[in-house]
């Protein structure tokens, strides 16, 4: 049975969807990017229905400022409060003993960084983001008139542009090394974000982190595992992770 649940987070009301089932181990889905909880082409809604039919409750939610949830969108690097709140309400509403969390892209990265705060029991991380775009800097009002001139100068002379991306490699390495729960990374072999993550794991500086994760790969270029075979493979990996954590 599918139901909508509203729950508070830092003074804002978030909205999630619970696919009920009888199991005491459940799946928490954390959306990537600014995607709503149904996922691209309703893929997460479909996955949740299939997982619940197999006996595992599933909870999906919109973070602050996304979809049906109130508040200001702070991005995935500030999403710890939402993940903590969602995991808490999921445990309570579904009467769970264990929670496996799944995320794709920066949703996977957020889970790697913040799972301990949410007391997650196991992680399933698809194509984690290692290099994240920085938010645009806030410009004082008095600099408004100078922006056009600066843009012209940047195009004419070798003025160094500010860094537009943030490397998360060190933060992820520390998170993986410190994690005390099972972690499985799912990689789409021909996806650029997955390739960046695979390169991160192969660097000697992150050898300790790489030993903490299990890797499983599927030959696809789809970041969200959109193909029919992709979806079947992803479903099987999720069921495996849930079965490993099945609570009596």
| Model pLDDT, residue 132 | 77
Query: H/E element holding 44?
Result: helix 43-53
Is residue 206 classed as helix, strand or coil in its secondary structure?
helix
pLDDT along the chain (248 residues), means of 10: 96 98 97 93 96 98 97 95 98 97 97 97 97 62 46 43 68 92 96 94 87 93 96 98 90
Dist. CA 68–CA 74, nearest whole Å? 15
- Give Cα 80 distance to the centre of its chain: 11
Residue pLDDT, tens place only, 38-97: 999 899 999 999 999 999 999 999 999 999 999 999 999 999 999 999 999 999 999 999
Dist. CA 129–CA 219, nearest whole Å? 19
Q: What are the extents of the domains in the chain?
A: 2-244
**DSSP track, 95-116:** T-SEEEEEEETHHHHHHHHHTT
Buried b (16+ CB within 10 A) or exposed e, 147-164: eeeeeeeeeeeeeeeeee
| Model pLDDT, residue 119 | 97
| Model pLDDT, residue 210 | 87
| Model pLDDT, residue 135 | 60
| Model pLDDT, residue 136 | 53
2-244 — its CATH code?
3.40.50.1820
| Model pLDDT, residue 137 | 54
Name residue, tokens 């729950």.
7
| Model pLDDT, residue 33 | 87
| Model pLDDT, residue 74 | 93
pTM reported for the whole predicted model = 0.87
């Amino acid at each position: 049975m599918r139901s909508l649940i509203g729950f508070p987070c830092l003074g804002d009301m978030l909205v999630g969807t619970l696919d009920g089932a009888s199991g005491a181990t459940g799946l928490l889905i954390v959306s990537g990017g600014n995607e709503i909880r149904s996922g691209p082409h309703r893929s997460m809604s479909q996955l949740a229905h299939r997982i619940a039919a197999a006996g595992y409750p599933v909870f999906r939610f919109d973070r602050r400022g996304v979809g049906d949830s109130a508040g200001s969108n702070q991005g995935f690097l500030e999403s710890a409060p939402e993940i903590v709140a969602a995991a808490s309400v999921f445990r309570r509403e579904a009467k769970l003993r264990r929670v496996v969390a799944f995320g794709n892209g920066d949703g996977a990265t957020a889970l790697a960084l913040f799972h301990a705060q949410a007391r997650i029991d196991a992680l399933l991380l698809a194509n984690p983001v290692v290099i994240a775009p920085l938010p645009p800097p806030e410009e004082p009002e008095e600099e408004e008139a100078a922006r056009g001139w600066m843009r012209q100068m940047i195009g004419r002379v070798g003025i160094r542009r500010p860094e537009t991306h943030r490397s998360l490699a060190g933060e992820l390495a520390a998170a993986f090394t410190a994690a005390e729960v099972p972690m499985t990374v799912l990689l789409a072999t021909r996806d650029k974000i997955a390739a960046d993550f695979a390169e991160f794991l192969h660097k000697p500086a992150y050898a300790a982190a790489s030993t903490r994760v299990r890797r499983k790969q599927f030959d696809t270029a789809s970041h969200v595992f959109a193909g029919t075979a992709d979806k079947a493979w992803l479903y099987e990996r999720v069921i495996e992770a849930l079965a490993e954590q099945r609570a009596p």
